[in-house]
């Protein structure tokens, strides 16, 4: 598909000329009507061609792959060329420049590269190296040459600034796009761009220029920076990311904020993004040749998406125009409002709703592609060139010292801050030189013209030729750019200024002349905002090799994923805070020893102590293998009970194994409790529940959860649960590659919405609630745990705003439901919590309590089930024996019951069918043993207590100690779990093993135990069974990624990276 960029530009011209020439010989106007309805005077779909009827019927059911589309297109070209040759009868063709003055002496035409010569370049072309192909032609023929495609098309290439002036500056009557971009009409609408006459298109170009001029650009910078800061605040302290995916998501959010308007960002953003992806899908080779035929699936999706987008924006435009009298309402500063306010100079009329919709779709398409890929290329280039990366970071440091930063955020004028980044600017500019968003710009010559090369040769370019300016080659000509293949931003510095060597068209990554890109400054500002923040707040390292260019795409992009590791500078800040706190505490205590126990009481000795010096020796293990490896080493050395002493500031006693864990799980609240350890959850969920209330109220609220998720109610939830699973996976198609982690996270949010949140949320507010919930999740990080209430931490502010909005949403729903109590009541968990009553005084739950309980439940349900579902899949797909056993179980249940139809859907007692899946249950249970959702439970001892180890040793755990039960270690103790590090679901089987019962009731504690066991255990198992039962019955799955490691930097450890 390396020829895609070239063919996409040449296709309409090839098609139209071929049809016109064949028709003119084969029967005049009537034949032309039969061959191409664009010549038809009757009302027919514009651009529909009977040639499209030659497509196989398979194209109505599935998309062609990029390679198959290319070969089909080339076949069509070959057939068309042959028909044209026959139609012309081998006679001499008319000169394309007949319209010129034949008496005028003109220079010769450019040298011609015919089809025979092109065949020699096919090996280079099919390797995907388009620039190398163009470079060879440039080296052989010079800066002006014509490529002849079977005599059917002549395309003249102009390389370098000396021969490009007329291309960029010629009048529309002399050089224009012609029909080259006709395929964009059904993308954006016939009301804009290449669907309207030239005068209207020029006016609309002025609308773009007005919307993005410097005065307005300053208005957009603040929201751009805000979106950047908010997005990267969710990255966490360190991890591995796909830069390409991350920046695509971020730039959609920026576009939503600055271009689309608050109405879209409020409730329609996800829908608009999905529709826009269908618009993008309309850019493929078949759609370029036949932009209007409905036989191509991507055309149908594109057309439906365009109509829906137009409807959405038309409604917004209509609404805003109706509010013109309300100054507060129409004071929007987004680009959408700018288009609404635009007026045509010719007649003074305002833009129509359809025009605004088309314009906003067009600007979103341009903004997303240019900025997304350039942002990724900029990162890939910087992270592979240490010299320029260091210079860019140093520039950020200098600007920070000058202006000041608080919590990683710019506190001065954002616009002025970004315009000072000269080094970053030229790094981006050099990236654009090597990776221009449009590698080749194409026009049609309507009149012949003459060009003069640098060597003094003159050539006459005939009228009718397609003209191409290959930016990707012009940006690398050696007489302008020294070592042009190298990444060297200094070439734009004050002593070199290579972009000015050949005049104003020496650098044309954003076009030039009449058709230069009006969004250039906007693009630079977006990319600067992104990389300024990343360079200031993260240490980044590129894991992937430097990406190749994917020339098969309309806008060439980095091929594959661009994986990098990120480490936040806040780890250093936390280390300093802890060190200072420890020192101050030591001074305050005056070095005195204190005892939390009664010295007159005879008691067992305290547990053995691991002091700070001993812990230092374990730091290499911590950074290499994570916290579980350290705990395992300490358990091996000190046994099942030991205390870690952190500089005298904190004493934490670890209890490993069931023999020493009874008091931890069963002790009274007055003896052992969470204390203030989970206080950071109060601003997450609200002060009305859990650790924001007293112990008695908290126990009552736990009972509400138990009632909502008890078996009798669980049966009610199974049907909608299974329905969501079946509906979701029905969209997967016949085959493909997916990120299992992302897919299951999305699915479990839908299940939670259906079973927990209520139909009101699922109706119109689901996307908003999900986005708010992500901001709640973002409030769980190291800084927020230490300082849960300070507004100086950005994630705290976002968390608090999200919690308030969620409380408002659920309060409105609760109020509405209580007002209609006589009607049929809903069966979801939300209704169960509304109906709950406190036993102490009989009062009902308040609106605020229900809202807080719902947030808490959603948090617990999502994390446990999402990550356990992913780990279950990773483990099953890595162990053929147990995967086969689980599939066989599904087959057996299918045979024994008449409840599974041909489509793999459970149709009768779904609850009973899921309950019979004992093998799958054991597989999930074993997954939870190795990957417990909470790897370590923590309490505070209010009274001292004694523990007795399996070996008979007794230790007194003093009051005041923090007590930890490291589930991730207890679940693998060798005297209970044979080969505890291995995945073996049979250890829970009835054949004499039942290892989860060997050490008593706390032998298996992945869902906790005793007073604080997880009430959602049955609900979690049912969700995960519903998912994997469906997948095992309906798909053959193969794991492409290696088994992921656990990311223990997260509050709930999760699989590290993607799981493909």
- Cβ atoms within 10 Å of 115's Cβ, excluding its own: 13
775, 684 Cβ separation under 8 angstroms: no
DSSP code at position 799: H
Whole-number Å distance between alpha carbons of 420 and 223:
19
The pLDDT of residue 957: 93
Q: How many CA atoms lie within 13 A of 685 on its CB side?
A: 22
Q: How far apart are CA 392 and CA 490, in angstroms?
A: 12
Matching CATH number, 182-434+492-570, of 3.40.50.300, 1.10.630.10, 2.60.40.10, 2.40.50.100: 1.10.630.10
User: If you ran DSSP here, which 8-state letter would residue 349 be given?
Assistant: P
Per CATH, 182-434+492-570 and 669-933+1006-1055 having the same topology is answered yes
What the block records as the tokens of 736 is 């493909």
Exposed/middle/buried for 671, CB within 10 Å: 0-12, 13-18, 19+?
middle
> What is the reported pLDDT for 127?
61
Domain regions of the chain by residue span: 103-181+437-491, 182-434+492-570, 669-933+1006-1055
Q: Are 1039 and 874 in contact (CB under 8 A)?
A: yes
Secondary structure (H, E, C), 187-248: HHCCCCHHHCCHHHHHHHHHHHHHHCCHHHHHHHHHHHHHHHHHHHHHHCCEEEEEHHHHHH
* Residues paired with residue 557 on neighbouring β-strands, in sequence order: 550
b/e code 374-402 from CB counts within 10 Å (16+ = b): bbbbbbbbbbebeebbebbbebbeebbee
Q: Are strands 449-452 and 112-113 parallel, antiparallel or unpaired?
A: unpaired
Q: Each residue of 823-836: pLDDT tens digit?
A: 556 777 888 888 88
The sign of the dihedral angle between the CA atoms of 28, 32, 38, 43 is: positive
* Closest C-alpha to 639, from 610, 611, 616, 596: 610
CA atoms 1018, 1019, 1023, 1024: torsion sign? negative
Q: What is the pLDDT of residue 9?
A: 44
> Among 116, 71, 291, which Cα is nearest to 186's?
291
Which pair of structure tokens corresponds to residue 487? 């990444």
Could you tell me which residues are annotated as the binding site?
517
Query: Using an 8 Å Cβ cutoff, are 931 and 621 in contact?
Result: no
Distance CA 77, CA 3 (A): 13
The tokens of 799 are what?
């968390």
CB atoms within 10 A of CB 743: 18
Q: Which two tokens stand for residue 254?
A: 């920026």
Dist CA 692 CA 786 (whole Å): 17
pLDDT at 409: 52
Crossing angle between the packed helical segments 847-877 and 740-752, to the nearest 10 degrees: 150
CB atoms within 10 A of CB 644: 22
**Alpha-carbon 195 to chain mean position:** 33
Per the document, the length of the chain is 1060
Contacts of 629 (CB under 8 A, 6+ apart): 621, 622
Binding annotation for heme: 517
pLDDT of residue 772: 82
CA end-to-end span of the chain: 25
pLDDT tens-digit map of 593-624 = 443 344 444 679 999 998 777 777 777 776 67
Give the 3-state secondary structure of residue 939: strand
The pLDDT score that the predictor gives to residue 381 is: 95
Least Cα distance to 330 among 340, 342, 320 occurs for 320
| Residue at token pair 């032309």 | 32
Q: For the chain, which residues score pLDDT lower than 50?
A: 1-12, 14-15, 18-76, 78-79, 81-104, 328-330, 406-408, 570-601, 899-903
Quick one: CATH architecture of 669-933+1006-1055?
Orthogonal Bundle (1.10)
């Amino acid at each position: 598909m390396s020829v895609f960029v070239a063919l996409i530009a040449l296709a309409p011209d090839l098609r139209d000329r071929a049809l016109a020439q064949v028709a003119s010989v084969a029967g005049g106007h009537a034949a032309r009507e039969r061959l191409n309805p664009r010549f038809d005077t009757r009302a027919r779909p514009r651009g529909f061609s009977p040639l499209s009827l030659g497509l196989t019927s398979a194209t109505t059911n599935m998309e062609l792959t990029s390679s198959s589309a290319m070969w089909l297109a080339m076949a069509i070209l070959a057939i068309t060329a042959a028909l044209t040759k026959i139609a012309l009868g081998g006679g001499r063709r008319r000169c394309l420049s007949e319209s010129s003055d034949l008496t005028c002496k003109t220079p010769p035409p450019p040298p011609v590269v015919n089809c025979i010569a092109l065949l020699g370049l096919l090996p280079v072309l099919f390797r995907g190296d388009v620039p190398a192909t163009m470079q060879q032609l440039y080296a052989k023929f010079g800066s002006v040459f014509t490529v002849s495609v079977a005599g059917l098309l002549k395309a003249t290439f102009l390389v370098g600034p000396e021969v490009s002036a007329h291309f960029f500056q010629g009048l529309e009557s002399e050089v224009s796009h012609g029909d080259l971009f006709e395929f964009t009409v059904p993308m954006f609408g016939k009301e804009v761009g290449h669907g309207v006459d030239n005068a209207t298109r020029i006016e609309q170009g002025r609308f773009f220029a007005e919307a993005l001029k410097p005065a307005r650009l300053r208005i957009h910078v603040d929201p751009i920076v805000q979106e950047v800061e908010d997005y990267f605040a969710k990255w966490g302290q360190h991890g591995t990311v796909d830069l390409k995916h991350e920046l695509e998501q971020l730039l959609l959010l920026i576009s939503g904020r600055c271009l689309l308007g608050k109405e879209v960002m409020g409730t329609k953003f996800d829908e608009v993004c999905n529709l826009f992806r269908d618009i993008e899908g309309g850019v493929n080779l078949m759609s370029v040749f036949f932009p209007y035929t409905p036989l191509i699936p991507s055309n149908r999706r594109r057309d439906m998406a365009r109509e829906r987008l137009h409807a959405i924006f038309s409604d917004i435009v209509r609404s805003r125009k109706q509010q013109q009298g309300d100054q507060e309402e129409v004071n929007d500063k987004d680009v959408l409002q700018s288009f609404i306010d635009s007026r045509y100079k010719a007649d003074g009329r305002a833009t129509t709703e359809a025009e605004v919709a088309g314009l906003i779709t067009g600007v979103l398409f341009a903004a997303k592609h240019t900025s997304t890929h350039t942002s990724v290329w900029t990162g890939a280039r910087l992270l592979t060139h240490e010299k320029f990366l260091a210079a860019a970071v140093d520039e950020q440091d200098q600007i920070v010292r000058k202006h000041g930063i608080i919590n990683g955020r710019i506190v001065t004028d954002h616009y002025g801050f970004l315009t000072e980044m000269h080094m970053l600017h030229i790094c981006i500019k050099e990236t654009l030189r090597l990776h221009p968003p449009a590698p080749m710009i194409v026009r049609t010559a309507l009149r012949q013209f003459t060009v003069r090369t640098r060597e003094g040769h003159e050539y006459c370019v005939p009228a009718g030729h397609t003209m191409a300016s290959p930016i990707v080659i012009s940006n690398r000509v050696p007489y302008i750019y020294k070592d042009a293949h190298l990444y060297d931003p200094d070439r734009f510095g004050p002593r070199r200024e290579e972009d000015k060597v050949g005049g104003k068209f020496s650098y044309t990554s954003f076009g030039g002349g009449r058709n230069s890109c009006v969004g250039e400054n906007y693009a630079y500002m977006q990319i600067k905002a992104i990389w300024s923040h990343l360079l200031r707040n993260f240490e980044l390292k590129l894991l992937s090799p430097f990406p190749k260019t994917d020339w098969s795409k309309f806008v060439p992009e980095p091929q594959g994923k661009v994986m990098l590791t990120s480490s936040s500078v806040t780890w250093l800040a936390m280390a300093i805070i802890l060190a200072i706190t420890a020192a101050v505490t030591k001074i305050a205590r005056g070095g005195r020893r204190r005892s939390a126990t009664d010295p007159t009481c005879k008691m067992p000795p305290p547990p053995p102590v691991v002091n700070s010096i001993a812990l230092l020796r374990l730091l290499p293990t911590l950074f290499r293998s994570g916290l579980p490896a350290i705990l395992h080493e300490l358990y091996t050395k000190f046994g099942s009970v030991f205390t870690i002493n952190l500089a005298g500031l904190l004493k934490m006693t670890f209890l490993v194994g069931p023999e020493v864990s009874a008091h931890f799980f069963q002790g009274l609240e007055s003896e052992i409790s969470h204390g203030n350890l989970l206080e950071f959850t109060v601003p997450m969920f609200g002060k009305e529940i859990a650790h924001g209330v007293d112990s008695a109220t908290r126990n009552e609220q736990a009972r509400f959860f138990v009632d909502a998720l008890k078996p009798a109610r669980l049966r009610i939830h199974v049907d909608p649960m299974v329905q969501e699973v079946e509906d979701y996976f029905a969209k997967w198609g016949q085959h493909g590659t997916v990120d299992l982690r992302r897919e299951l996270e999305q699915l479990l949010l839908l299940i939670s919405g259906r079973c927990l949140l209520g139909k009101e949320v699922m109706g119109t507010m689901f996307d908003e609630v999900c986005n708010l919930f992500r901001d709640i999740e973002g409030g769980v990080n190291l800084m927020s745990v230490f300082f849960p209430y300070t507004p100086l931490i950005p994630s705290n502010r976002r968390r608090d705003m999200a919690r308030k909005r969620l409380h408002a949403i659920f309060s409105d729903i609760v109020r509405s439901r209580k007002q209609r109590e006589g009607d049929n009541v809903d069966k979801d968990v939300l209704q169960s919590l509304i109906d709950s009553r406190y036993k102490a005084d009989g009062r009902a739950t308040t609106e605020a309590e229900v809202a807080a309980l719902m947030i808490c439940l959603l948090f617990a349900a999502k994390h446990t089930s999402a990550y356990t579902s992913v780990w279950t899949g990773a483990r099953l797909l890595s162990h053929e024996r147990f995967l086969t056993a689980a599939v066989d179980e599904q087959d057996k249940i299918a045979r024994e019951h008449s409840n599974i139809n041909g489509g793999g859907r459970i149709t009768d007692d779904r609850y009973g069918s899921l309950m019979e899946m004992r093998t799958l249950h054991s597989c999930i249970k074993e997954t939870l043993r190795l990957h417990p959702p909470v790897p370590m439970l923590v309490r505070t001892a209010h009274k001292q207590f004694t523990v007795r180890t399996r070996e008979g040793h007794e230790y007194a755990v003093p009051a005041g100690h923090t007590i930890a039960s490291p589930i991730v270690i207890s679940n693998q103790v060798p005297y209970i779990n044979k080969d505890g590090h291995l995945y073996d679901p049979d250890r829970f089987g009835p054949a004499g093993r039942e290892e989860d019962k060997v050490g008593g009731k706390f032998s298996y504690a992945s869902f906790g135990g005793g007073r604080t066991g997880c009430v959602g255990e049955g609900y979690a198992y049912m969700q995960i069974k519903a998912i994997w039962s469906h997948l095992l019955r309906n798909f053959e799955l193969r794991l492409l990624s290696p088994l992921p490691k656990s990311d223990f930097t997260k509050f709930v450890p999760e699989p590290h990276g993607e799981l493909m």
